[in-house]
Amino acid sequence: MAVQISPSILSADFARLAEEARAVEAVSDWLHVDVMDNHFVPNLTLGLPVVESLLKHTTLPLDCHLMIDDPDQHAVGYAEAGAANVTIHAEAARAPVRTLRAIRAAGARAGLAVNPGTPVEPCEDLLPELDMLLLMTVDPGFGGQKFLDIVLPKLRRARAMVSAHGADVWLQVDGGVSEETIERCADAGADVFVAGSAVYDADDPAQVVNALREQAQLATAHASWARAR
């Protein structure tokens, strides 16, 4: 299973998004777009019009992470616009199955996110509806927060759950992922890594993406969950 890196533009310069996307285009698998509505999280970022514009300016597939109150209403619009992945929060969705199916029907991959304080076990029955499970490693809302090690046991349980079902579901981590923490995430079972401030606060964002990938690949090669496959 290949390691995938998804730089988050939350830490990029919002006035120069096209350029900032280009800075990581050659070395990244995805571009992570954090949609925040000031209700589900105490921060406001961008929405569908900006995603539509960004789609015209990057060749990277967009990984839209919706931190919004009413994903059942809004998620499908991002898929219809051309986002390659749309992730909704388990805490916000009232009809997750209907919404995840609508995302897939619109041609995108469907993701489900859980906050650090939300158990992952209730997601087990939803695995057939999912392409990716996102385990937040900070409480969502802001870039640059400290990685929460307490999520690592949950990540191990999520990996075991996905393996037990033989499900082709990616496990993403988001929040505080950096050269200091990425190996722990890979070792615990993550295969898709979001990094915001670690990438965009650096002088050379592409170089950091490469370094993160290398570290994650090495840690995965030694991880018991990956060797058991």
**Which residues are the active-site residues?**
34, 174
Please pick, from the candidates 71, 111, 175, 205, the single residue that binds ligand DX5 as defined by CB under 6 A.
175
Please pick, from the candidates 174, 184, 185, 225, the single residue that binds ligand DX5 as defined by CB under 6 A.
174
On the 0-12 / 13-18 / 19+ scale of CB atoms within 10 A, 204 is exposed
Please pick, from the candidates 6, 60, 65, 187, the single residue that binds Zn ion as defined by CB under 5 A.
65
Helical packing angle, 205-222 and 17-25, nearest 10°: 50
User: Is residue 71 within the footprint of ligand DX5 (CB under 6 A)?
Assistant: no
Residues 6+ apart with CB under 8 A from 37: 44, 47, 67, 68, 69
User: Is residue 195 within the footprint of ligand DX5 (CB under 6 A)?
Assistant: yes
Choose the binding region for ligand DX5 from 73-81, 90-98, 195-203, 217-225 (rule: CB under 6 A).
195-203
CB of 14 to ligand DX5, least distance (A): 12
Range list of H helices, the chain: 17-25, 48-55, 71-81, 96-105, 152-164, 182-188, 197-200, 205-222, 224-227
Nearer to ligand DX5 by Cβ, of 126 and 142: the residue is 142
User: Is residue 34 within the footprint of ligand DX5 (CB under 6 A)?
Assistant: yes
Output DSSP code: residue 123: G
Per the DSSP assignment, residues forming a β-bridge with 88 are 112
C-alpha dihedral sign at 221, 222, 226, 229: positive
Q: How many residues bind Zn ion (CB under 5 A)?
A: 3
Collapsing DSSP to helix, strand or coil, 144 comes out as coil
Please pick, from the candidates 48, 52, 127, 145, the single residue that binds ligand DX5 as defined by CB under 6 A.
145
Please pick, from the candidates 71, 111, 143, 189, the single residue that binds ligand DX5 as defined by CB under 6 A.
143
Q: Which residues bind Zn ion (CB under 5 A)?
A: 34, 65, 174
